Amino acid sequence: RLRALNRLQVILQHLKMSKQTDSTAEVLLEKKGGAGIITLNRPKALNALNLPMIQKIYPQIKAWEQDPQTFLIIIKGTGGKAFCAGGDIRAITEAGKVGDKLTQEFFIGEYRLNNAIGTCKKPYVALIDGITMGGGVGVSVHGHFRVATEKTVFAMPETAIGLFPDVGGGYFLPRLSGKIGYYLGLTGFRLKGRDVLKVGIATHFVESEKLPALEKDLIALKSPSKEKIADLLNSYHAKCTIDQEKEFVLDEHMEKINSLFSGNSMEEIVKKLKQDGSPFAMKQLETINKMSPTSLKLTLRQLREGASMSLQEVLQMEYRLSQACMKGHDFYEGVRAVLIDKDQSPKWKPAALEEVSDEFVDNCFKPLGNEDLKL
């Protein structure tokens, strides 16, 4: 009986899906061959994730995971400019101002989705063509395969808006080589093209115009194993010669990044940058001085703690931090300055690192009891 029920669910799922491919939907979910395909379809908003999109994608991934006729999951964006430029920050800001539940529901939904991708039993292939930031990183980086192109722009720019590099940033950033994850998380530095592969965010690099052919070949694979999928991606990767000779953009600075960003506190990192005094160090200091002091302190601790946590523990920690930011000042001020008024001059409170007390930071990391994220 259970089997028949499961079969019925799968059939209903397929029927539902044939309806969902109407091209105006914000996310398209379709089955082609042995592949489940997720298309983020808000090109005007650079495919930013909102709660309804998240609520559609999550159960679909879970259904495909159970479906014996689905062998892999592909996620991509439309419009040619962005894979996904982040979460729908504006909606969250509006909600936060009026005490709406969206400030909880959005992060709960998003982090559960990140976890579903991180634990997905089916091979998960993210085609990260174009802008991939914040929430877009969350729906790609935790999967098995991430295919970057010459158009990929990767960044976690949250400290500039009074937030922190969430969506599991506390898990993957400290696991990148040396201190580069700390550097990316604190400064929001943008990596482009092949550099996204070199840093370990992407697993493969393929020309943007070859992606439709790659997708077709992935769909055509007959009951593929993870190895078969990897072989196909590897063959495309091997043929791509764009920027092959170019050295990694941060190569010459890696030694400095590893020493300067190894401080135990933000104050220590700032001190190291000042003492170093090189043009590179001064440029980082200038960047850090623009960021929310509260965000910087939360981020450094998030990355240091996340380095030894599981993805689930990290997402729980990040949910606590998200709720602390929703109750604070800097997130709303950062969004105002960067996204709404665009005057790029946020007035942070507190305005200096020294004024963000350890006690305040500790409080942001405290368990929320019944309100904690359940995965």
> Active-site positions?
87, 135, 158, 166
Rounded Cα distance, 272 and 2, in Å: 62
Structure tokens at 217: 């070949």
The answer to whether the CB of 285 falls within 8 A of the CB of 274 is yes
The answer to whether the CB of 334 falls within 8 A of the CB of 160 is yes
The residues near 172 (Cβ < 8 Å, ≥ 6 apart) are 141, 142, 181, 201
Q: How many residues does the chain have?
A: 375
Structure tokens at 187: 């400064």
**3-state secondary structure at position 79:** coil
Comparing CA positions, the residue from 340, 341, 356 lying closest to residue 291 is 356
Rounded Cα distance, 233 and 128, in Å: 14
3-state secondary structure 128-176: ECCEEECHHHHCCCCCCEEEECCCCEEECCHHHHCCCCCCCHHHHHHHC
3-state secondary structure 212-246: HHHHHHHHHCCCCCHHHHHHHHHHHHHHCCCCCCC
Strands (E), the chain: 27-32, 35-40, 72-77, 82-84, 124-128, 131-133, 145-148, 153-155, 191-192, 204-205
Comparing CA positions, the residue from 41, 128, 127 lying closest to residue 79 is 41
